[in-house]
């Protein structure tokens, strides 16, 4: 929500910077795809440097740091020893991160520039809170005669109130700033990469408006929401393992699908004025072929011949008598009652509307 309208020149400049950022992200991806090659394309090296020049007149040191990291990573030959070394480096980085409270020690992928944050580390960092990692009292690095200031950690609202930018973190080691939530919850969309979430961080001190652009971006808002949700769950002790949560969601979806089929069957029989029940409401008894199980169960069995989900549900109900199945006469009557209630309400609504028109 910008209260000040940008001039045409400012808008063109902003667009050039955004295009430069997009080009850098594209080059990262090209390098990622060419990882198997033994030689690094010198032209691409210079392309990235040139983009940096386009984005800012005085390329910040954090861009150069990232390039050196990237080159050394590409030159490494894949081997067991290098994997072990990488794991050891990752562990030592994690220790440095937690001990020195410096987000520059987050494990960033040297090719894509994106963070690799394990679940347990993410929860540890959120439990500690971003304030610990903001480093507000650090000596902010000076680049081209400019540096960030303490005012960056504050944001003015339209009503004049000032609030803390809790997401903004300064890294003394990288001499740049990061976004707490975007680093911890990396966006899946490659179109929304921001310097605040990549390995080199943001250090273009003369463009303070990029802070506002970032915090208003959709990808930041999504990451911010995920952060606050996880923070709330941690504080409430409602943390459930991700796998367990996924299973719960799958189970919910399965029951929704089963209920949809049951309801569709009841609606069909009711609309045709057919009786639902037979002589015996038991799937198990049907095998003897001595009973009429009724139109409802017979129709469900017919659908199950072509529907694996319903087939599995009926088989489970048959094998485990007494398990929840939503097939009993009581459930059928409840559904019919709910359908009747809905129809009555619609009829009353139509009568009421017509009465009002006549008045």
Of 182, 198, 265, 266, the one binding Zn ion (CB under 5 A) is 182
CB of 174 to Zn ion, least distance (A): 16
Our CB check for Zn ion shows the closer of 193 and 220 to be 220
Largest CA distance in the chain: 93
Of 220, 258, 262, 282, the one binding Zn ion (CB under 5 A) is 220
Does residue 108 sit in helix, strand or coil?
Answer: strand
CB of 296 to Zn ion, least distance (A): 54
Residues belonging to the chain: 359
Interface with Zn ion, residue 117, by CB under 5 A: no
Our CB check for Zn ion shows the closer of 215 and 307 to be 215
Considering only the stretches 79-87, 101-109, 150-158, 180-188, report the one whose residues sit in contact with Zn ion under the rule CB under 5 A.
Answer: 180-188
Secondary structure letter of residue 4 according to DSSP:
S
Considering only the stretches 74-82, 178-186, 301-309, 322-330, report the one whose residues sit in contact with Zn ion under the rule CB under 5 A.
Answer: 178-186
Of 179, 266, 269, 276, the one binding Zn ion (CB under 5 A) is 179
The answer for residues whose C-beta is within 8 angstroms of residue 313's C-beta and 6 or more apart is 258, 304, 325
Interface with Zn ion, residue 125, by CB under 5 A: no
CA–CA gap between residue 344 and residue 341 (Å, rounded): 5
Kind plus residue range of the DSSP H or E element containing 239: none
Q: Residues binding Zn ion: what is the number (CB under 5 A)? A: 3
Interface with Zn ion, residue 210, by CB under 5 A: no
Q: Quick one: tokens of 97?
A: 């991160």
Interface with Zn ion, residue 313, by CB under 5 A: no
Are 204 and 135 a contacting pair, CB within 8 Å? Answer: no
Q: How many degrees, rounded to 5, is the angle at CA 317 between CA 320 and CA 314?
A: 145
Interface with Zn ion, residue 56, by CB under 5 A: no
Interface with Zn ion, residue 211, by CB under 5 A: no
Interface with Zn ion, residue 193, by CB under 5 A: no
The answer for residues whose C-beta is within 8 angstroms of residue 104's C-beta and 6 or more apart is 171, 172, 173, 174, 176, 178, 201
User: Could you tell me the sign of the dihedral formed by the alpha carbons of 163, 167, 172, 177, in that order?
Assistant: negative
Interface with Zn ion, residue 165, by CB under 5 A: no
Our CB check for Zn ion shows the closer of 198 and 310 to be 198
CB of 146 to Zn ion, least distance (A): 22
Are 266 and 332 a contacting pair, CB within 8 Å? Answer: yes
CB of 121 to Zn ion, least distance (A): 18
* Residues lying near Zn ion in the complex (CB under 5 A): 179, 182, 220
């Amino acid at each position: 929500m910008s209260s000040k309208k940008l001039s045409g020149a400012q808008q063109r400049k902003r667009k050039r910077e955004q295009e430069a950022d997009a080009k850098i992200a594209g080059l990262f991806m090209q390098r990622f795809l060419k990882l198997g090659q033994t030689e690094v394309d010198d032209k691409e090296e210079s392309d990235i440097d040139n983009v940096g020049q386009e984005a800012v007149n005085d390329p910040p040191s954090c861009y150069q740091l990232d390039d050196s990291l990237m080159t050394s990573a590409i030159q490494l030959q894949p081997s067991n020893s290098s994997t072990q070394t990488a794991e050891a480096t990752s562990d030592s980085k994690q220790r440095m991160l937690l001990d020195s409270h410096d987000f520059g020690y987050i494990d960033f992928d040297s090719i894509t520039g994106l963070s690799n944050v394990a679940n347990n580390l993410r929860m540890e960092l959120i439990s500690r809170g971003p304030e610990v990692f903001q480093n507000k009292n650090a000596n902010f690095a000076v680049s081209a005669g400019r540096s960030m200031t303490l005012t960056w950690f504050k944001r003015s609202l339209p009503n004049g109130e000032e609030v803390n930018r809790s997401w903004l973190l300064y890294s003394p080691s990288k001499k740049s700033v990061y976004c707490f939530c975007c680093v911890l919850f990396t966006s899946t969309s490659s179109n929304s990469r921001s310097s605040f979430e990549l390995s080199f961080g943001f250090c273009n001190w003369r463009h303070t408006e990029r802070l506002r652009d970032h915090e208003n971006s959709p990808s930041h808002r999504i990451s911010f929401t995920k952060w606050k949700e996880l923070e709330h769950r941690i504080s409430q002790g409602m943390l459930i393992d991700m796998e367990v949560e996924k299973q719960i969601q799958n189970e919910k979806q399965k029951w929704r699908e089963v209920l949809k089929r049951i309801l569709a069957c009841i609606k069909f029989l009711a609309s045709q004025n057919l009786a639902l029940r037979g002589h015996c409401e038991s799937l198990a008894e049907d095998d003897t072929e001595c009973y009429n199980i009724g139109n409802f169960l017979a129709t469900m069995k017919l659908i199950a011949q072509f529907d694996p989900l319903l087939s599995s549900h009926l088989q489970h109900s048959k094998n485990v008598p007494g398990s929840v199945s939503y097939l009993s006469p009581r459930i059928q009557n409840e559904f019919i009652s709910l359908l009747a209630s809905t129809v009555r309400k619609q009829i009353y609504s139509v009568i009421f509307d017509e009465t009002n028109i006549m008045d």
